[in-house]
Amino acid sequence: MTERSIPADIARKLVAAPTYASEELYDAYRWLRANNPLGVAEPEGFDPFWVVTKHADILEISRNNALFLSGERGTTLMNKDGEARARAVTGTPHLVRSLVQMDEPDHMKYRLLTQAWFMPANIRKREEAIRELAKKAADDFAALPGRCEFIKDVASHYPLRVVMNILGVPEEDFGRMLRLTQELFGASDPDTERFKAALSDEQFAQLLISVVQDFTDYFEQITADRRANPRDDLATLLAQAEIDGAPLPPFERTGYYTIVATAGHDTTSSSTAAAMWGLATVPGLLERVRADLSLVPALIEEAIRWATPVKTFMRSASADTELRGREIKQGDWLMLCYASGNRDEEVFANPDSFDIDRKPNRQIAFGNGAHLCLGQHLARMEMRILFEELLPRLKSVRLDGEPRYVESFFVNGLKTLPIAFELA
């Protein structure tokens, strides 16, 4: 045990999916920020990794993409067996290769393929179509009998419809995309469909591989269709896109489709649910925002901070360096704990409170630097529109049971949010 070592009990919590569904996670982060904000965890079965819990350190690493790489090691935490399995299947430490797993020069080449689609000027052209989807979601909500499970009935479906319409997935396949997303991001959660009982590490890795293969099979069909029948959608752009004068390789094309089709709605669902949780639990908040809809963007920003749907990403050092007075060696693995950075007491007063009056709200849930989330403007807009449509109809809302969280140390958020409500 050295000064930099994280206590074994906390290291175990950081790699245990159930921790991420409880307050234990924030207790662990709070201890680390106070006592060892840049320490090394060595949990059994995993390679050692640095645990980065302070807002400033996460920003510094995120902004220095040449020094802290995304492609050399897994960008999501994997144990030794899982990484070996991924390398055996794909020849890389990744089961998919999307923007998230790329470094320069590939990262910018691939990002530029779709970046214009997600810029504010372009997504504003889609605002009317998105508002129609939001009105439909609000109508469906209003038709419910005064209580609902908000995730299942609203939060998981509306963002899914927005992203699938942009991508070009037919409506009859929306359910399939939702199921595959839940299996990919929540594969360690006991309620996930394919996870019926405790699996060995090898079986768990095989489960993820099969989910990725399902995505691949589906989007190869989409690619063939769009090459024959081009449309005004993102699938057509990706089917016809070229990098360095050649079509996208299948591995990278699948990665692109998958990141848009999954992260594009799952993270937004989590933040949407967090906003409703805030409205249901913070006294006077619903009345205040309903009376002044100009406060909706602040509600959304605080919900994003509160939820921080992407809990962690990994980076690896490309050279020896120093951070917070500690020597990081070339090849060292680092866990960026965004949910800890978003509760950093040096940046956020009363960080465990849901407070829409944070100005500025310096949340880092979308990341920073070259890997700043491509869909951040779309996510904010679709959530804003939904609550602009929903809030005028809502007289009161309260919790109607205990919320539950997904057990996952990668993408994680509310799994159930039972609420009771009165319409205006």
Q: How confident is the model at residue 196 (pLDDT cuts 50, 70, 90)?
A: very low
Judge whether 52 and 344 are in contact, CB under 8 Å. no
Mean pLDDT lowest among 28-37, 142-151, 210-219: 210-219
Nearest to 75 by CA among 407, 336, 406: 336
Kind of pairing, strands 333-337 and 246-247? unpaired
Mean pLDDT lowest among 32-36, 50-54, 127-131, 254-258: 254-258
User: Does a structural domain hold residue 227?
Assistant: no
Position 327 pLDDT exceeds 90: yes
Q: What is the mean pLDDT of residues 291-307?
A: 98
In the chain, % of residues over pLDDT 70: 93
Q: What is the mean pLDDT of residues 43-58?
A: 97
Q: What is the mean pLDDT of residues 38-53?
A: 97
Q: Which has the higher per-residue pLDDT, 90 or 125?
A: 125
Q: What is the mean pLDDT of residues 309-331?
A: 97
pLDDT at 3: 84
Position 191 pLDDT exceeds 70: no
User: Does a structural domain hold residue 405?
Assistant: yes
Position 202 pLDDT exceeds 70: no
User: Does a structural domain hold residue 372?
Assistant: yes
Q: What is the mean pLDDT of residues 285-295?
A: 98
Position 184 pLDDT exceeds 70: no
- The domain in which residue 287 lies consists of 8-113+127-151+264-423
83-118: pLDDT as tens digits: 887 887 788 888 888 899 999 999 999 999 999 989
Q: How confident is the model at residue 197 (pLDDT cuts 50, 70, 90)?
A: very low
Structure tokens at 203: 């079986």
User: Does a structural domain hold residue 176?
Assistant: no
Q: How confident is the model at residue 212 (pLDDT cuts 50, 70, 90)?
A: confident
The number of beta carbons lying within 10 Å of the beta carbon of residue 47 is 17
pLDDT at 190: 60
User: Does a structural domain hold residue 108?
Assistant: yes
Nearest to 55 by CA among 67, 68, 37, 70: 37
Residue 319 is part of a domain; what is its CATH number?
A: 1.10.630.10
User: Does a structural domain hold residue 247?
Assistant: no
pLDDT at 128: 96
User: Does a structural domain hold residue 74?
Assistant: yes
Structure tokens at 151: 């995730």
366/375 Cα distance (integer angstroms): 9
In the chain, % of residues over pLDDT 90: 73
Nearest to 372 by CA among 159, 99, 106: 99
Domain tally for the chain?
A: 1
pLDDT at 199: 56
pLDDT at 193: 44
Judge whether 161 and 153 are in contact, CB under 8 Å. no
Its pTM stands at 0.92
Position 43 pLDDT exceeds 70: yes
pLDDT at 194: 46
pLDDT at 389: 98
User: Does a structural domain hold residue 118?
Assistant: no
| Secondary structure of the chain in HEC code, one letter for each residue | CCCCECCHHHHHHHCCHHHHHCCHHHHHHHHHHHHCCEEEECCCCCCCEEEECCHHHHHHHHHCCCCEECCCCCCCCCCHHHHHHHHHHHCCCCCCCCHHHCCCCHHHHHHHHHHHHHCHHHHHCCHHHHHHHHHHHHHHHHCCCCEEEHHHHHHCCHHHHHHHHHHCCCHHHHHHHHHHHHHHHCCCCCCCCCCCCCCCHHHHHHHHHHHHHHHHHHHHHHHHHHHHCCCCCHHHHHHHCEECCEECCHHHHHHHHHHHHHHHHHHHHHHHHHHHHHHHHCCCHHHHHHHCHHHHHHHHHHHHHHHCCECEEEEEECCCEEECCEEECCCCEEEEEHHHHCCCCCCCCCCCCCCCCCCCCCCCCCCCHHHCCCCHHHHHHHHHHHHHHHHHHEEEEEECCCCEECCCCCECCEEECEEEEEEC
